[in-house]
Amino acid sequence: QDTAPKNSAKKKKAKKEKASQPKAVDTDAKPTTSKPAEPSAAQDKDAAAKQARRKRHGIDDSDDEMEIDETAPPAKKEKKSLLGRMPQDAEALKRTLFIGNLTIQCITDRKVYSELKTLCSSHGTIKAIRFRSIAFSELLPRKIAFIRGKFHSERQVCNAYVEYADEDSAKKALVLNGTQFQEKHIRADLANNDKAHDMKRSVFVGNLDFAAEEEDLWRHFGSCGAVENVRIIRDSKTNLGKGFAYVQFVDRSSVALALKLNGAEVNSRKLRVQRGSEKAIKEKQRTVTTPDSITRALEGTRSVKGDKPSNKKRRTARSRSFAEKRLNTASDSRKPARTPARGAPRGRGKPKARA
């Protein structure tokens, strides 16, 4: 019984001595390399999500020591908005150039857009380019229709506002007026130019096709002389033509030649070419003297010319017959009085009978 505990104590002591001795290293043996464990599907998903978060926050993969704040909002990338309005700031208007009759490919084709940017940047540094007067095929909000590319098939031109860094660059870019870009004569002018058309060097063109473009009139009136600009009056909502336009020439003598093209056909429509100003045309439309317009004036409404009469001079009528009666009396007063026949009494009343 006493020998059993002694043997167990000896065995424990031998194990401790063996563990304390250094192990012999076999130099001839080949080192064994342990293969890393393959990542599971869950680990791959977590790694992909982590990398996506790093990209969303704008962190480079080489910056391993940078910490990511999950609560911070993601960094917003600056997007170039091609759709916009004319600048409202007075200082921005001075350095903004208006370009008309541009092809719609400036929006749909990146190559054409880069060509336009290169053409405009040759005169100075450009801050932004905004496109305007775009006709869409569906009645959607402009931004949604612009993103979806719902452009009108019959309206292949648009306008643009090019904002330069300084005012001098915008003035230098005025030389682009009348030049051809993508086989179209462009119109260049300052955005803050409030000067009206010079009607002495312009002609009014009526009976124009609604789908007509500025290039059609450039080619039609190009034989009369150098054309400075063409302006088709368009609807503010649909951006389609209203049926009339103005063509301004460089030389005043070209107007006489343009008037000879009255009745010529463009897009199967006979044009009406005449000399006149916008004010004269409006006055002509206002001063049409018809019986209805005269009766409206007599019944107390505004006069034909559009000026508001005073309360003292305002005339009222109880019925339409009163207005017609006033018209008849006005016409009778203009007739010459009849001269009495020879021998007829000149006094008023009936002649007295002789006894």
DSSP string, 142-175: HHHHHHHT-B-TT--EEEEEEEESSHHHHHHGGG
Report residue 49 as tokens.
């999500």
Burial grade of 38 (CB within 10 A; 0-12, 13-18, 19 or more): exposed
Report residue 114 as tokens.
């880069």
Q: In terms of Cα–Cα distance, which of 104, 96, 111, 93 is closest to 134? A: 104
Q: Tell me: the pLDDT tens digits for 156-174?
A: 899 999 999 999 999 999 9
Q: Is the pLDDT of residue 298 over 50?
A: no
Mean pLDDT of 63-89: 53
Q: Is the pLDDT of residue 178 over 70?
A: yes
Q: Kindly report the pTM of this predicted structure.
A: 0.56
What local confidence, expressed as pLDDT, does residue 58 receive?
A: 56
Reported confidence tier of residue 259, pLDDT bands at 50, 70, 90: very high
